[in-house]
Amino acid sequence: MTEIHDLNDWDRQIIEKFRASGGNVGGQFTNAPLLLLTTTGAKSGEPRTRPLVYLSEGGRIYVFAGNRGAPTNPAWYHNLVAHPDVTVELGTEKFEARAIVVDSEEGERLGRIQVQKIPALAKLAATITRQVPVVLLERKK
């Protein structure tokens, strides 16, 4: 099992529930696709796991560095820029992937699709004044 560091209680509970239920967290995530992303800390080199809502589009998996509306990118984004080899937990499946930041035009297109699929994100997206990086999680062969 991946070691979890530096988590708040909310993230820890989501991760535990995700792993115990094969990815069916429920609650506010009942209709939202959720995965666990494990990155390598940019400074520490330690594994860092975070629950993230994702977009499945064209057979590919994307995550958004919205950071819950904060004015800065989340730590997990800085980690994967420094160390793009990541681990993804999707339901009961666990696999290695390469994180690839998509260009801003494609990212904006994917962001519009994500908001259409999960309308609750529209309110949050409207509060973000920075460009939200979008990351493709490309499964390693």
In tens, the pLDDT along 3-43 reads 444 558 888 999 999 999 999 888 877 778 999 999 999 99
**Spatial CA neighbour of 43 closest among 12, 75, 11:** 75
The mean of the pLDDT values for the chain is: 89
Q: Could you tell me the pTM of the whole model?
A: 0.88
Q: Report residue 45: phi and psi, to 5°.
A: 75, 5
Q: Among 21-25, 90-94, 107-111, 119-123, name the one with the lowest average pLDDT.
A: 119-123
Residue 58's region, left for phi above 0, alpha for psi from -120 to 50, else beta, is left
pLDDT, residue 2, reads 42
Q: What percent of the chain has pLDDT over 90?
A: 65
pLDDT, residue 123, reads 79
Q: Are 2 and 38 in contact (CB under 8 A)?
A: yes
pLDDT, residue 124, reads 76
59 pLDDT band (50/70/90 cuts)? very high
Element (H, E) at 36: strand 34-40
Q: Could you state, in order of their start, the residue ranges of all structural domains in the chain?
A: 9-139
- Quickly count: other Cβ atoms within 10 Å of residue 3's Cβ: 9
The most confident of 27-41, 62-76, 89-103, by mean pLDDT? 89-103
What CATH number is given for 9-139 in this structure? Answer: 2.30.110.10
> If you count them, how many residues does the chain have?
141
Mean pLDDT across 89-118: 93
Q: How far, in Å, CA of 46 to CA of 42, rounded? A: 8
List Cβ neighbours of 8 (8 Å cut-off, separation of 6 or more).
none
Mean pLDDT across 53-78: 92
Query: Using a CB cutoff of 8 Å and minimum separation of 24, what contacts does 51-59 make?
Result: 51/11, 51/14, 51/15, 51/18, 51/25, 52/76, 53/29, 53/118, 53/121, 54/137, 55/110, 55/113, 55/114, 55/117, 57/110, 57/113
Element (H, E) at 139: strand 134-139
